[in-house]
Structures are given as structure tokens and as C-alpha cells.
Amino acid sequence: MATTIQVKDETIRLLEALKQSTDARSYDEVLSKLLEEKLKIPKSMFGVDRGKLTPFTEADRLEDRE
């Protein structure tokens, strides 16, 4: 789904410069790269909870059997 956004002339000039310097194919690609870098969201969520989860206990294993 495409949408239209309003930006100032200076912003579009900066986007164009960044698009050329990064060999991006579109403004969408430029913005996506910037947002990924800023937000530090991984492309894959595999393993993001590593080290945060605790092992199951005996009580956890039995809780649904009662």
C-alpha cells in the first residue's frame, strides 16, 4: 500500500542526496534504512529473548494437568 507524505523542499533534497550516496532505489528504501538504524529493530526476531527467559519448573509443567 502506497501513501503520500508531505515534506519540505530541504528534506526532499537531503533524501535525494542520501538515496544517491547509498545507491537506494527509492525514498522508501532510504527511510527504511534510516528507521532500522535508529530504532535498532532486527530484521529477524529469532533469539531476541535469549537470556531473558527462565527454565520451566516442575510447577510450570504440572499447572495445566490439574
Burial of 54 (0-12, 13-18, 19+ CB in 10 A): exposed
Residue 66 — pLDDT band, cuts 50, 70, 90? Answer: low
pLDDT higher than threshold 80 for residue 45: no
The answer to whether 19 and 30 have CB atoms below 8 angstroms apart is yes
pLDDT higher than threshold 80 for residue 46: no
**Sequence-distant (≥ 6) Cβ neighbours of residue 9 within 8 angstroms:** none
pLDDT higher than threshold 90 for residue 20: yes
How far from chain centre, in Å, is Cα 53? 22
Of 23, 40, 19, 21, the residue nearest 31 (C-alpha): 19
The rounded distance, in Å, linking the Cα atoms of 66 and 56 is 17
Please report the pLDDT score of residue 65 as a whole number.
66
Q: Provide the residue ranges of all domains of the chain, joining segments of one domain with +.
A: 9-65
Please report the pLDDT score of residue 63 as a whole number.
65
Please report the pLDDT score of residue 31 as a whole number.
94
